[in-house]
Amino acid sequence: MTEPVRYQSTRGTAPELDFGDVLLAGLATDGGLYVPTHWPTLATDVDPDASYIDTANEVIAPFVGDTFTADELAEMIAAAYGSFHHDEVVPLVDLGDGRIVLELFWGPTLAFKDVALQLVGHMFEKLLTARQQRLTIVGATSGDTGSAAIEACRDREALDIFVLFPKGRVSEVQRRQMTTVASPNVHAVEIEGTFDDCQDLVKAMFGHPEFRDDVNLGAVNSINWARVMAQVVYYVYAARKVGKGAPVSFSVPTGNFGNVFAAETARRMGTPIDQLIVGSNRNDILTQFFSTGSMAIGSVEPSHSPSMDIQVSSNLERLLFELYGRDGASLTEAMLRFRGEGVLGLGVDQMAHLSETWSGTSVSDDETLDAIGRYQEQMDLLVDPHTAVGLVAAERLRRNPETPIVSLATAHPAKFPDAVQRATGVIPALPDHLADLHSRVENYQTLPNDLAVVEAFVQEHRSK
């Protein structure tokens, strides 16, 4: 057991906070992201066959400090992962030749975001109840985050959740996962606009102090440290089971960089990790960055893996903070230049250090469909397009055939049936708990892209 961590901002000027305040704050007041003041170290004399739940208790304890007791933490972890539809929570599938798939999609909404959000939902409820506060969570989604956040927050007394999604731009499965949850504190709102419009509305609500304070606005987006923390567990768990003390590599289909930064955290805590491979779709800004040490912002292009259609990955700032020697002032300068001029470049030493562990590659839509077809034909494994990107990245960039490589499966194939059917001819079946999704009653409101109208709706519909 190491000493509990506190949290500092990557930009260096916001106050240091404890875990509870970081959980509720999300972004730091200086515009930075919260990171631990030091990396706790994992014990080495552990049973490599420990269960997922036991590993979660061990890995998370030092991060929460005294915000929760060990008993409270254990209770929340058991409840969160009890909602998963697989006994092992995150099963490992062996493909031979040291290739392993880590399935992270057995939670209620079929994407890996459930692993973090199921636990974060319990943590919000416990902390808000102890502090006698209520929170109104407002989020924008292009698909997966919205349903995972809704499932995490539904039926919780201390919370209301409003999710804004763009009209006609989310898949049928994704929309129904958000609109068929019959819970009084859940509000799915279709906006007559794009995902960017939804995001701008949320930003505007946070930028409107009277509204923000009146409803006590909160967020569950992936810059929240608690989400990264919960994801560290499966890297530690998989590395121990697969490597048994020897190094393991990971290939991670990446968008906002929250998932793969959890791998970096596991590494800094002492988990033996050889390579971290970042898989991207045609939106290849991270591939540029890991190949050349510099990146330039382009425009976002739609792809078969929509949850990775992104240009600026917010959580990359946490890795940059380490590369800049934890110096908030020089990172702030670099980030402001990046936002202003659209370009960021590393120095030679920083790049050499980065390349020891990190690499990235961009996978086209055609290559993604081809991989879905190949894995179905050769391995009898049906994978979703995001997972396929990670599998191709692992094939391309694995540098040592002796070191096992774990590819993360981030969504269930039934979540993206169109691409899977196109690639294989097979229509993937929804798991039992969602089998009747298409006959459930939908309940949602359609609103114009108008801040005043959306704010009035939130004020009127939140419970008081």
Ligand X SMILES: *Cc1c(COP(=O)(O)O)cnc(C)c1O
Element (H, E) at 202: helix 195-206
Quickly tell me which residue has 């659209």 as its tokens: 342
Q: Which residues are within 8 A (CB) of 154 and not within 5 positions of it... i.e. 6 or more apart? A: 161, 181, 183, 185, 186
Binding range to ligand X, per CB under 6 A, among 180-188, 247-255, 336-344, 454-462: 247-255
- Helix (H/G/I), strand (E/B), else coil: 294: strand
- Cβ of residue 307: shortest distance to ligand X, in angstroms? 3
Q: Which is nearer to ligand X, 20 or 143 (CB)?
A: 143
Q: Distance between CA atoms of 25 and 426, rounded to whole angstroms?
A: 44
Query: Do the strands 186-192 and 217-218 form a parallel or antiparallel pair, or are they unpaired?
Result: unpaired
Which of 113, 126, 241, 415 is an active site residue? 113
Cα end-to-end distance, the chain, whole Å: 41
Question: Backbone dihedral region of 234: left (phi > 0), alpha (psi from -120 to 50 degrees) or beta?
Answer: alpha
- Give the contacts of 438 (CB within 8 A, at least 6 positions apart): 172, 176
Q: Return the number of other C-beta atoms located less than 10 Å from residue 267's C-beta.
A: 21
Least Cα distance to 164 among 185, 154, 178 occurs for 178
Select 257 or 338, whichever has its Cβ closest to ligand X.
Answer: 257
- Name which position in 163, 217, 238, 411 contacts ligand X (CB under 6 A): 411
Among 80, 410, 414, 423, binds ligand X (CB under 6 A): 410
Question: What count of other Cβ atoms lies within 10 Å of the Cβ of residue 426?
Answer: 14
Instruction: Give the whole-angstrom CA distance, residue 212 versus residue 206.
Output: 6
Q: Which stretch binds ligand X (CB under 6 A): 253-261, 288-296, 348-356, 366-374?
A: 253-261
Is residue 428 near ligand X by the rule CB under 6 A?
no
Asked if 14 touches ligand X (CB under 6 A), the answer is no
The residue count for binding ligand X (CB under 6 A) is 16
Which residue among 121, 243, 258, 328 contacts ligand X (CB under 6 A)? 258
R_g (Cα) of the chain, nearest Å: 21
Q: For residue 107, state whether it binds ligand X (rule: CB under 6 A).
A: no
Q: CB–CB of 269/232 below 8 Å?
A: yes
Q: Is 287 near ligand X (CB under 6 A)?
A: no
Please report how close the Cβ of residue 268 comes to ligand X at its closest, in angstroms: 18
Q: Nearest 10 degrees: CA dihedral of 304, 140, 177, 162?
A: 180
Q: Which amino acid is at 328?
A: G
* Rounded-to-integer distance, Cα 113 and Cα 392, Å: 22
255 binding ligand X? (CB under 6 A): yes
Tell me, rounded to whole angstroms, the distance of Cα 42 from its chain centroid: 22
CB of 170 to ligand X, least distance (A): 12
Task: Kindly state whether residue 251 participates in binding ligand X, applying the rule CB under 6 A.
Answer: no
Under the criterion CB under 6 A, does residue 175 sit at the interface with ligand X?
no
User: Quick check: 293 and 346 in contact, CB under 8 A?
Assistant: yes
**Nearer CB in complex with ligand X: 151/160:** 151
**Cβ-based nearer residue to ligand X, 11 or 113:** 113
* Contact status: 11 vs ligand X (CB under 6 A): no
Q: Interface with ligand X by CB under 6 A: which range of 8-16, 188-196, 251-259, 337-345? A: 251-259
**Binding pattern to ligand X, positions 140-169, x when CB under 6 A?**
----x-------------------------
Least separation in angstroms between CB 190 and ligand X? 20
By residue count, the chain amounts to 464
Cα dihedral: 307, 309, 311, 314 (round 10): 0
CA separation, residue 22 to residues 19, 131, 226, 264, 289 (Å): 5, 14, 8, 20, 29
Say whether 113 is catalytic. yes
Q: Is 177 in the site for ligand X (CB under 6 A)?
A: no
Residue 318 touching ligand X (CB under 6 A): no
- Which helix H or strand E contains 264, and what residues bound it? helix 258-268
Nearer to ligand X, 51 or 314 (CB): 314
Whole-number minimum distance, CB 411 to ligand X, in Å?
3
Task: Specify the stretch interacting with ligand X by CB under 6 A; choose among 90-98, 252-260, 267-275, 356-364.
Answer: 252-260
Q: Of 9 and 259, which CB lies nearer to ligand X in the complex structure?
A: 259
| Of residues 68 and 195, the one with the C-beta less far from ligand X | 195
Which of 9, 10, 254, 303 binds ligand X (CB under 6 A)? It is 254
Contact status: 103 vs ligand X (CB under 6 A): no
Binding mask 298-317 for ligand X (x = CB under 6 A): ---------xx---------
Q: Name the residues annotated as catalytic.
A: 113
Binding site for ligand X (CB under 6 A): 111, 113, 144, 222, 253-259, 307-308, 386, 410-411
